[in-house]
Chains A and B, each alone.
Chain A
Amino acid sequence: MLAIIQERNQGIKPTHLMYKANLSHNQMKLYLEKLIASGLIEKNETSKGTRIFITKKGREFLLNYIRMKNFEKTFGL
Chain B
Amino acid sequence: MVKIVLTPDWFLSADVFIDFFSFFVVVIFSLLAIKNYKISKNKRFLYVGVGFLLISIAQLASLITKLILYYDIGPSEQIGQAIIASNIVNSVDVFYYAGFFFHRFLTLAGLFLIYRLPRKQKMLEDYFLIFYFILISALLSKEFYYIYHITSFVLISLIIRNYYEIYSKNRFYNTKILILAFSILALSQLIFIFSVIDILFVVGGLVELVSYLIFLFLILKILDHGKEKNKNRHNIRYVGNNSRKKSRN
* Residues of A participating in the B interface, judged by any CB pair closer than 8 Å: 2-4, 7, 62-77
Contact = CB atoms under 8 A, between A and B. Distances in A.
Lowest 8 CB-CB distances: which A-B pairs, in order? A76-B166, A74-B174, A66-B226, A63-B226, A69-B239, A3-B236, A77-B44, A68-B36
A30 to B, nearest CB: 20
Interface in B36-72: 36, 39-40, 42, 44-45, 48
B237 interface: yes
Contact of B239 (A64, A70, A75, A76): A70
29 contacts: A2-B236, A4-B234, A7-B233, A7-B234, A62-B236, A63-B226, A64-B35, A64-B39, A66-B225, A66-B236, A67-B225, A67-B226, A68-B39, A69-B240, A70-B174, A70-B222, A71-B36, A72-B42, A73-B172, A73-B174, A73-B175, A74-B172, A74-B174, A75-B166, A75-B175, A75-B178, A76-B169, A76-B170, A77-B48
A14 B44 CA distance: 36
Interface in B188-244: 218, 222-223, 225-227, 233-237, 239-240
A42 B55 CA distance: 43
Tell me if B's interface is mostly helix, strand, loop or mixed.
Answer: helix
B249 to A, nearest CB: 19
B interface bracket (residues with beta carbon within 8 Å of A): 20 to 34
Contacts of A74: 172, 174-175, 178, 218, 222
Contacts of A64: 35, 39, 226
Interface of B: 32-33, 35-36, 39-40, 42, 44-45, 48, 117-118, 162-163, 166, 169-170, 172, 174-175, 178, 218, 222-223, 225-227, 233-237, 239-240
Give the residue among A7, A65, A69, A75 with the most B Cβ atoms within 10 A. A75
B179 to A, nearest CB: 10
B4 to A, nearest CB: 36
B18 to A, nearest CB: 24
